[in-house]
Amino acid sequence: MAVLNGKSVLDMIKEFRRNWHTFCNSERTTVCGADSMLLALQLSMAENNKQYSGEFTVSLSDVLLTWKYLLHEKLNLPVENMKVIDHYENIRKIYDDFLKNSNMLDMIDVYKKCNVLTSNYENYANISPSQLRDFLSGRQYAVDDETDFSEPVSPMSKHNQDNEKYCRGSDTLSDKDAAD
């Protein structure tokens, strides 16, 4: 399986920016990466829950389940045998409306719009829907199709790594740890 590199995605975004007038009504369109897409989805799901249950909350497991389904659906990848959350159509409408009202496009929308130009630009013309899904899911070093990384991965900062080291086994710091 070929793994998509970030340069292909960056080339696609650069080309989108050069040709924004073909795709958008405004030059101030924001392109959302995976983290922003996931946040917009979470807010959309919370808004949906507020409409149906009165509470502006959503569980992480529901967000991740819906994230996986959204990626497959928007990229026209197979969704059979995938679980879908109740009121998905409403969540999708809230998500799409949120992006539109915020003058944003997610990476999948950019990908779809740029596919119109693929015959002219070979740098990103070879990005497949499954490669983009894997890229958005943080599956950059996938070994095979059996691996399932459906949530985006953010790098851990050195600060967080240090905090994790101190929280792992002991409540006290050794002299060596305190010197770090």
pLDDT digits (tens, 9 = 90+) for 157-174: 444 454 444 443 434 444
Cα gap 42→25, rounded to integer Å: 26
- Structure token pair of residue 106: 């997610």
pLDDT of residue 141: 45
Please tell me the predicted confidence (pLDDT) of residue 112.
87
Cα 3 to Cα 37, 67, 133, 155, 160: the distances in Å are 21, 20, 11, 18, 28
DSSP letter string over 93-109? HHHHHHHHHTTEEEHHH
141 vs 168: CA distance, rounded Å = 27
Give the per-residue pLDDT at 23.
72
**What is the pLDDT, as a whole number, of residue 1?**
43
Q: Which residues contact 170 (CB under 8 A, 6 or more apart)?
A: none
pLDDT at 38: 96
pTM above 0.85, yes or no: no
Q: Report the largest interatomic distance among the alpha carbons of the chain, rounded to a whole angstrom.
A: 62
Residues with pLDDT less than 50, the chain: 1, 141-155, 157-160, 162-180
